[in-house]
Structure 1
Amino acid sequence: MYTVAALYHFTRFEDPAALRDPLLALCEAQGICGSLLLAREGINGTIAGPAAGIEAVLAHVRALPGCADLEWKLSTAAERPFARMKVRLKKEIVSMGQPDVDPLARVGHYVEPADWNALIRAEDVAVIDTRNDYEVAIGTFEGAVDPQTESFRDFPAWWEQNKDRFHNKRIAMFCTGGIRCEKSTNFLLGQGVEEVYHLKGGILKYLEEVPAADSTWQGECFVFDRRVSVGHGLVEGPHELCHACRRPILPEDRSRPEYEEGVSCHFCIEETSEADKARFRERQKQIALARARGEHHLPGFDD
């Protein structure tokens, strides 16, 4: 059993490059896999490994400049969720492409999971899902608006085109773990929206704390690792990943005529050329050979 830790923290790193190698070395020494992003604005990522190793890495991160009050969310995975460990340097720890957005300056009102249902059921509240379209497709909160964006960087343009729909509304926003809402609520405040709220700890914290019987969540929550989705109690969900388009699919979708492992599914079969499919088949052949040699290869999250 692997312990999985999802974490992020906005702070000011003067030299994130200097933090990379010691962090990577510690993760590797502790048998940790996953991905961490470092930027001048902070740290973000998901890691997995033995519980003691996760605690050692979290202690290291908490000791970084400005990270003493780091928060994280723990869950478990039955199998190794990532093939290897990566620590990457980025311009942003979550890409929105808005240089003026600064969550350290101000963000929306945090709403605890226990108080979320009452807020989103209020008549003067509009609920917006800030995640990507393929994430929303397998689960969201009842009554939530789906911007149908392919990337978080598309959100500002979507808001500009749709903002009149939300005149005189309080805005409640949510995402997987909370990081996208740190930026999206700051963005809306900068656009003149007066009352903006976001789910503290994101969907993951809600699914961890709110009983299924009391929940307004519908479906599963997409996660960016081998588990693909989780449900209430953060129990691993039924979804798999199409390694051609990286969209979540259900086990029964493998029986559809459009499905070919690593090559296509019913979502993407018309989106790729025959040359693409030939390339995917060759990749799948290499994956099969690697598996036969007993090597880890988890396409989709590590390629």
Structure 2
Amino acid sequence: MFRVLLYYCYSPIEDPEAFREEHHRLCLRLNLLGRIIVAHEGLNGTVSGLTADCEEYMRLVKADPRFAALEFKVDEVPEHTFQKLHVRVKPEIVHSSLHHTKPYEKTGQHLSPQEFKDLKDRDDVVVVDVRSDYEYNVGRFKNAVTLDMENFRDFPERLEKLKEFKDKKILTYCTGGVKCEKASAYLLEQGFENVYQLHGGIIKYGIEAGGEDFDGKCYVFDSRVTVDVNRVNPTVISHCHHCATPSDRMVNCANPHCNAHIPLCETCSQQLEGACSTICQQHPDKRPYDGTGTYPKLSNNYNPEQGLLSYRAPSGIKN
């Protein structure tokens, strides 16, 4: 049995490059695949691996005093949900235009899934989705305010839309919590007083609160693309980009110059060969469609043990 782990922790890392090298070696030793971002402000990742390897990884990460408070969101899966291992140093652990914020110093009040559930429908509360449009279009909380963002870095530009709610309790949410840390910190900085965030995000809400009133599916950043969250009152809210029939089957357009994240039903996917339109279908650079609609990024082939060489998963592990 395999597991997929989703996690983040805002905690200062003095030497991100040195940490990345060490952490990359750990992931190789434990046969983990996935995407990990290291920055001066902390650690953010999603990895998959065998259950025993994931258990050891969680133990070792949390043994580091810098990440003692880190919480892993854990899901059981039948196989690896990634094809490569990437461990990269970046300026931030989530791409934003809020480089100055320090969530480990000040951020919105964390709400457990049950606390979020108890508060979300009150008259003095507004629930705010801080994710990108392609994410909330396939799934979101009932009555949530969405911000029409292609990328999280657009969040400060959407502040005007939230000013009418300044006298209410603002409950932010995202997939796993990492975006809410910066979004809620920024809202506090801009004078919003009652700012909260769903601790552990949609994924933890599904695990601990049954996902009640989360309509549709949750977009995730691995080969599954979307996952079921709501076990209480599930529904489908998205429609096929081409024929408009109800569909929560998400794909990336097969034209790499488009690469739109869209719902596309099985029939239209086959007819358009994974493209979002006939124009993209006819593009000379269109990628071959294998039925999944996912196109993993190529590895930079960096292995800290051997330099720039290709990494292959050990025998028996799907790569």
Within 5 Å, give how 1:149-228 maps onto structure 2. 149-159=149-159, 161-211=160-210, 215-228=212-225
2:24 aligns to what SS in structure 1? helix
Deviation per CA, 1:152-199, whole angstroms, max 9, x where unpaired?
00011111x323322322211000000100100000000000000111
1:252 aligned to 2:266?
yes
Distance 1:72 1:205, change over 3 A: same
Q: What does residue range 1-303 of structure 1 map to in structure 2 within 5 Å? A: 1-159=1-159, 161-211=160-210, 215-232=212-229, 239-244=249-254, 245-252=259-266, 254-255=268-269, 257=271, 259-261=272-274, 264-266=275-277, 277-281=283-287, 284=288, 299-300=295-296
The SS at the match of 1:18 is: helix
Q: Is the 8 A contact 1:112 1:199 kept in 2?
A: yes
Cα distance per residue 1:104-162 (max 9 Å; x no partner): 11111111111222211111111110001000011100000110100000011111x32
The residue number in structure 1 matching 2:314 is none
C-alpha distance in 1 between matches for 2:100 and 2:151? 19
The alignment yields a C-alpha RMSD, in angstroms, of: 2.5
CA distance in 2, matches of 1:2, 1:20: 24
| Rounded Cα–Cα distance in structure 1 between residues aligned with 2:81 and 2:298 | 10
**Conserved? CA contact 1:11–1:67, under 8 Å:** yes
Secondary structure of the corresponding residue to residue 254 of structure 1: helix
- Structure 1 residue ranges, 4+ long, deviating more than 6 angstroms after superposition: none
* Structure 1 equivalent of residue 243 of structure 2: none
Q: Is the 8 A contact 2:253 2:262 kept in 1?
A: no
Runs of 5+ consecutive residues of structure 2 not aligned to the other structure: 237-247, 300-319
Equivalent pair of 1:2/1:49 in contact (CA under 8 Å): yes
Where 2:286 maps in the other structure, the secondary structure is helix
Q: Is the 8 A contact 2:260 2:276 kept in 1?
A: no
Aligned residue in 2 for 1:294: none
Q: Which amino acid counterpart does residue 223 of structure 1 have in structure 2?
A: V
Q: 1:52 is matched by which residue type in structure 2?
A: A
Determine the C-alpha separation between the residues in 1 that align with 2:91 and 2:84.
22
Q: Which amino acid aligns with 2:114?
A: A
8 Å CA contact 1:61–1:67 kept in 2: the answer is yes
Structure 1 unmatched ranges of 5 or more: 289-297
Kindly indicate whether the alpha-carbon contact (under 8 Å) linking 1:178 and 1:200 is maintained by their aligned counterparts in 2.
yes
Residues 53 and 176 of structure 1: is their aligned pair in 2 closer, same or farther, counting only changes over 3 Å?
same
Q: Give the deviation of 1:251 after TM superposition.
A: 4.0
Equivalents in 2 of 1:120, 1:302: separation in Å?
41
TM-score by structure 1 length? 0.84
Deviation, 1:77, is 2.2
AA of the residue aligned to 1:265: C
* TM-score, length basis structure 2: 0.80
Deviation at 1:65, TM superposition (A): 5.0
SS at match of 1:20: helix
Q: Distance in 1 between matches of 2:3 and 2:79?
A: 10
How high is the sequence identity, in percent, across the aligned residues? 35
Q: Distance in 2 between matches of 1:112 and 1:129?
A: 17
Are the aligned partners of 1:43 and 1:93 in contact in 2 as well (CA < 8 Å)? yes
Give the length in aligned residue pairs: 279
Shift of 1:209: 1.2
